[in-house]
Chain A
């Protein structure tokens, strides 16, 4: 199984730094961004991110707006919403906007990891389906090409 690439987005830098260290230690490839815009910029340059862990409440571009932007540009990337508290409502709204799941802060690292893994698996499955669809398509076009050739011959 390949290493999961995670992007942590939160305005509390010290929180995500520590979390990044802990996840790195557990053999995840973690990057961090301190705001919505920064996260989008990062994603624009780095195409390998699998899961984004996104804080709902941030100054500037907030969690929901960032989520919508990510889902639009990179539909395959899974997003886990991280909510401080009573923003459960916005977390639910996030889910409606296509987030994979949500977590309450502070959360135990084990729970975060299991969610990340689930998200990663979901992404992989998704990608696999796409791959299979492509193969089928190629197969079909190959078949049809052969048919044409056959018919020609």
Chain B
């Protein structure tokens, strides 16, 4: 019950230590890491955004300048050559060839169209002949505005393309020179922007139609989605925003207006892809955190266990010490009491014995009392004297238990002392069929103690051991040894009946005896205890019922 409670107490303590260590190590770790991660996230995101903005801005400028350049090329052509010259298809053809060599095959074909939208001359791979462009959007526009860069359309040839056209106003009437831009060449301008796994760019017109070759990736084609891209205030050339698409995937969109706001360059990339490095860092951090956590928890478990173990041990030692202090104090106070009692009792007993002696003397002379009563008187007086002597013995033992050191301390060979005592008890042991073995180590240093008192202690222990044996004999082993160069130990071990556990605690108490009344005073072991304590040693007992008892005397050796 009690034991159970103390284990519970230590478990609780262990848990408390463990929890507080874990808390103390985790809270700052998590706080710092999350703060760093937070800061890192934002700065990284900013960096990615800036990078994308710059990239798109650059491309926007490239594309814009490409378009303007092409327009300028056509305008130059129209300015340098007259309508007559260009109406000649062979000249037009040679112009196209020189354009193509000069401008890296950007121009696919060139056509000259009159004010009514009918093509007068054409040079290029398609046999377009006298095609009529009267209803084409671009024709309407070029007529009104003087130049056009059209949206992408399929047109007569049935392939996606767009044209650059310039109106030349001259006599007899206005005419238009028109060139088709190589769609593939144009596409590469945009397709160059390809970052990560999901990042790509495309161009939309105001109707939300793709002006570049559609990529395999799914493009968000809802006009409403890009609407605000077109409606952005022009103070910022590039807009960047983050939005979930229809399927719920988070995307980063970067938009820039092209061609005076007719077209819009759109770059889109999955956020997770754009910030993949960041996510990588987060993943790494989390893994590290978990790893640290595991290490901390394991270490904490071990440390808390060790701390509690140490505490438990020191508690135990303290408890033992307390017990010892209590025991010593008890014996000391009992000793004082006993010596007081002995002093006070001794004189009355002496008087009683003396009076009894006097009565005996008188009885010798008196002839008036008959013989029978005389014998009875004598017996009674003898008894008084005997009991008086018994009292005397008890008081003398009590006093020797309590008395202060009066014995002479000498350097003693403990082994020879043991041998002497064993010789003294050999006779009694032989009668009881008991064998006394000695296991004495030779290397024991001299001990400073009172030989007569030590003899008394050993005699007492051996006599007790002899008493503990049954009628059929047994073995008493007396051993001595020198351990760790610091401690001399003397064991008196018997294989007798042992001491019940309930008696062990009282074994050194004065007047504690298991012998019948009158056989033992219960002072032997108390006296031994007192003597050993006085000499700076310790005496302890270990006993197993029916197996035997071992008294161990320890003397520390001072260097």
Q: Could you list which residues of chain A lie within 8 angstroms of chain B, going by C-beta atoms?
A: 12, 14-15, 18-19, 21-22, 25, 84-86, 88-89, 104-106, 108-109
Contacts and interface: CB of A to CB of B under 8 A. Distances in A.
B399 A22 contact: no
A23 B358 CA distance: 9
Contacts of A25: 361
Contact of B357 (A22, A84, A86, A89): A22
A21 B339 contact: no
A18 B358 contact: yes
Contacts of B410: none
A85 B346 contact: yes
Contacts of B353: 106
Contacts of B402: 86
20 contacts: A12-B347, A12-B350, A12-B351, A15-B350, A15-B351, A15-B354, A18-B355, A22-B358, A25-B361, A84-B346, A84-B347, A85-B343, A85-B346, A86-B342, A86-B399, A86-B402, A88-B406, A104-B396, A106-B350, A106-B388
Contacts of B361: 21-22, 25
Interface string B112-124: 0000000000000
> Which of A18, A19, A21, A22 lies at the interface centre, i.e. has the most chain B CB atoms within 10 A of its CB?
A18
B343 A22 contact: no
B349 interface: yes
Interface in B323-358: 339, 342-343, 346-347, 349-351, 353-355, 357-358
A84 B340 CA distance: 12
Contacts of B430: none
Contact of B343 (A12, A84, A88, A108): A84
A104 B403 CA distance: 16
Looking at B358, B388, B403, the one whose CB has the most chain A CB atoms below 10 A away is B358
A105 B357 contact: no
Contacts of A85: 342-343, 346, 395-396, 399
A21 B358 contact: yes
B374 interface: no
B392 interface: yes
Sorted nearest first, the 5 A-B pairs with minimum C-beta distance are A106-B350, A86-B399, A106-B353, A18-B354, A105-B350
Contacts of B479: none
Interface of B: 339, 342-343, 346-347, 349-351, 353-355, 357-358, 361, 388-389, 392, 395-396, 399-400, 402-403, 406
A25 B360 CA distance: 12
Contact of B392 (A18, A86, A106): A106
A15 B347 contact: yes
Contacts of B354: 15, 18-19, 22, 106
A8 B517 CA distance: 37
B351 A18 contact: yes
Contacts of B388: 106
Contact of A105 (B346, B358, B400, B406): B346
Contacts of B389: 106
Given A85-B399, A89-B406, A106-B392, A14 B351 contact: yes
Contacts of A105: 346-347, 350
A109 B357 CA distance: 8
B332 to A, nearest CB: 16
A115 B396 CA distance: 22
B358 A86 contact: no
A88 B349 CA distance: 18
